[in-house]
Amino acid sequence: MQAAAVDGKANKAVVKELAKAFDCRARDFSIVYGELGRDKRLLITGDVVALEKKYLELQQTTTLQQRLNL
């Protein structure tokens, strides 16, 4: 991420990109671990079947940049 790790800007940028990748709203994501660190665990709320399908689609791409369409 290019956002600075100040005032939660980097976390917001991560959530924004993940929301875009999963076709969800940013508010559907919650950081449950690692809010202040580099490694994070997130919880996504929503349709489990649709989220799993999208996750499997994202796994098929070859790079993280392609996954996030950067």
Please report where in the chains the tokens 């969800």 appear, as a residue.
24
| pLDDT tens-digit map of 18-60 | 999 999 999 999 999 998 888 899 999 999 999 999 988 888 8
Copy the structure tokens of residue 36: 């202040």
Question: pTM of the full predicted structure?
Answer: 0.73
Per-residue pLDDT band for 63 (boundaries 50, 70, 90) equals: low
Asked if residue 35 lies in contact with residue 27, where contact means CB atoms within 8 angstroms, the answer is: no
| Residue 41: both structure tokens together | 């665990």
